[in-house]
């Protein structure tokens, strides 16, 4: 009994964004949650390299620290910080939704704007703290 | 060979006994990661953790080592569950889907093992 279901030839999400589906704040925050999640999954390799270099000794760590302190390294670190804080803030929004609350249009938009604001402010605060204090 | 139809064989068995498991562990790790990731980001900002001596001294504190191990395990478990859902959603071909999920999970758990080993190696003073 291996009849291919008719649905197997249908296009897969997110084909509809753009031509058939007007993007709004809520859907864009949703896809950003996925994209930052994927980026953070790749980013675990960076964190593993960081502790592994430290475990390997001062010479290996110096190579890693030089790469991380370069301009490109710094920009990636800022992006990584924002991705983590965005995923964290929006993740808390998701956990709140899991209680069955916050789905009204007004509330969903308000929490969405709050997540954008909080992720940017927290990223700025973390880097200001790291560079100035 | 059974004469019963596939539908009647499956009927009444429920959801292969793991219905909400994936969903629940995704939430469990998410809740754990709220304090762990905040602590991690603040620590990296507070200490010069790209300086070898500072970093090693930081990890040698028992509480830091334990929290780092928890952070890596929770984060990578959470990542493995999330990446699986993304692959299931966007990869159409069943074979490619299966191979992608297996490779992603192997890679992520290798990263987890390497990270935990490195933290413990520093903590135990190698």
Domain span at residue B76 reads: 24-123
Residue B2 lies in a domain: no
Mean pLDDT score, A81-90: 97
Minimal-distance CA residue of chain A relative to B82: A37
Question: How many separate domains does chain B show?
Answer: 1
Inter-chain CB proximity B121 and A55 less than 8 Å: yes
Contact criterion met (CB below 8 Å) for B122 and B60: yes
Confidence of residue A96 (pLDDT cuts 50, 70, 90): very high
What are the backbone dihedrals phi and psi of residue A21, each rounded to the nearest 5 degrees, phi first? -140, 120
Residue B51 lies in a domain: yes
Confidence of residue A2 (pLDDT cuts 50, 70, 90): low
* Torsion sign, CA atoms A87, A36, A105, B28: negative
Q: What angle do CA A45, A47, A53 make, to 5 degrees?
A: 95
Q: What are A17's strand-pairing partners?
A: A21
**What's the gap in Å between the CA of A116 and the closest CA on chain B?**
17
Q: Which two tokens stand for residue A121?
A: 């402010």
Q: Predicted ipTM?
A: 0.86
B126 pLDDT higher than 80? no
Residue A13 lies in a domain: no
Does A16 reach chain B within 8 Å, measured CB to CB?
no
Q: For residues A132 and B2, give the distance between their C-alpha atoms in angstroms, rounded to a whole number.
A: 73
Which pLDDT value is given to residue A8?
A: 62
Q: For residues A100 and B43, give the distance between their C-alpha atoms in angstroms, rounded to a whole number.
A: 34
Q: For residues B71 and B35, give the distance between their C-alpha atoms in angstroms, rounded to a whole number.
A: 9
DSSP, residue by residue, A58-70: HHHHHHHHHHHHS
Which residues of chain A does B59 touch, with a Cβ-Cβ cutoff of 8 Å?
51, 54
Residue A89 lies in a domain: yes
Between B82 and B1, where is the model more confident?
A: B82
Label residues A86-113 b or e (16+ Cβ within 10 Å = b).
Answer: bbbbbbbbeeeeeeeeeeeeeebeebbe
Surface of A (29-88) touching B: CB under 8 A: 34, 37-38, 40-41, 44-45, 47-48, 50-52, 54-55, 58, 61-62, 64-65, 68-69, 81, 84-85, 88
Inter-chain CB proximity A48 and B111 less than 8 Å: yes
Contact criterion met (CB below 8 Å) for A91 and A129: no
Residue B9 lies in a domain: no
Which residues of chain A does B52 touch, with a Cβ-Cβ cutoff of 8 Å?
54, 58, 61-62, 65
B1 pLDDT higher than 70? no
Domain span at residue A31 reads: 22-41+69-132
Inter-chain CB proximity A126 and B45 less than 8 Å: yes
**What's the gap in Å between the CA of A104 and the closest CA on chain B?**
22
B99 pLDDT higher than 90? yes
pLDDT tens digits, B41-87: 999 888 888 899 999 999 999 999 999 999 999 999 999 999 999 99
Which pLDDT value is given to residue B78?
A: 98
Closest CA to A91 of A28, A37, A23: A37
Residue A118 lies in a domain: yes
> 């031509």: which residue's tokens?
A19
| CATH code, domain carrying A112 | 1.20.1300.10
Question: How many separate domains does chain A show?
Answer: 1
Residue A3 lies in a domain: no
Q: What angle do CA B1, B3, B6 make, to 5 degrees?
A: 95
Minimal-distance CA residue of chain A relative to B123: A55
A43 pLDDT higher than 60? yes
> 């009994």: which residue's tokens?
A1
Burial class (CB in 10 A: 0-12, 13-18, 19+), A34: middle
Q: What angle do CA A27, A77, B62 make, to 5 degrees?
A: 110
Of A51, A92, A133, the CB nearest to B119: A51
Which pLDDT value is given to residue A83?
A: 97
Q: Crossing angle of helices B21-46/B62-90, nearest 10°?
A: 130
Which pLDDT value is given to residue A19?
A: 77
pLDDT tens digits, A97-123: 999 999 999 999 999 999 999 999 999
Which pLDDT value is given to residue B17?
A: 62
Which pLDDT value is given to residue B10?
A: 77
| CATH code, domain carrying B66 | 1.20.1300.10
């Amino acid at each position: 009994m291996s009849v291919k279901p008719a649905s197997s030839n249908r296009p897969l999400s997110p084909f509809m964004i753009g031509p058939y589906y007007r993007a709004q704040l809520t859907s864009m925050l949703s896809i950003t949650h996925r994209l930052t999640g994927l980026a953070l999954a790749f980013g675990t390799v960076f964190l593993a390299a960081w502790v592994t270099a430290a475990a390997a000794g001062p010479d290996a760590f110096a190579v890693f620290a030089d790469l991380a302190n370069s301009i490109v390294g710094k920009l990636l670190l800022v992006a990584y910080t924002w991705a983590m804080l965005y995923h964290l803030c929006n993740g808390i929004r998701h956990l709140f939704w899991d209680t069955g609350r916050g789905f009204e249009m007004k509330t969903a938009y308000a929490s969405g704007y709050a997540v954008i604001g909080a992720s940017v402010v927290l990223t700025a605060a973390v880097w200001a703290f790291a560079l100035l204090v | 060979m059974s004469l019963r139809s596939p539908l009647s064989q499956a009927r009444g068995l429920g959801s292969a006994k793991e219905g909400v498991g994936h969903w629940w562990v995704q939430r469990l790790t998410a809740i754990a990661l709220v304090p762990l990731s905040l602590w991690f980001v603040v620590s990296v900002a507070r200490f010069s953790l790209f300086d070898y001596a500072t970093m090693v001294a930081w990890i040698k504190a028992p509480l830091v080592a334990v929290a780092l191990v928890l952070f890596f395990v929770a984060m990578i478990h959470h990542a493995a569950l999330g990446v699986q859902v993304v692959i299931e959603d966007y990869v159409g071909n069943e074979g490619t889907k299966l191979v992608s999920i297996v490779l992603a999970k192997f890679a992520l758990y290798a990263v987890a093992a390497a990270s935990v080993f490195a933290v413990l190696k520093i903590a135990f003073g190698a």
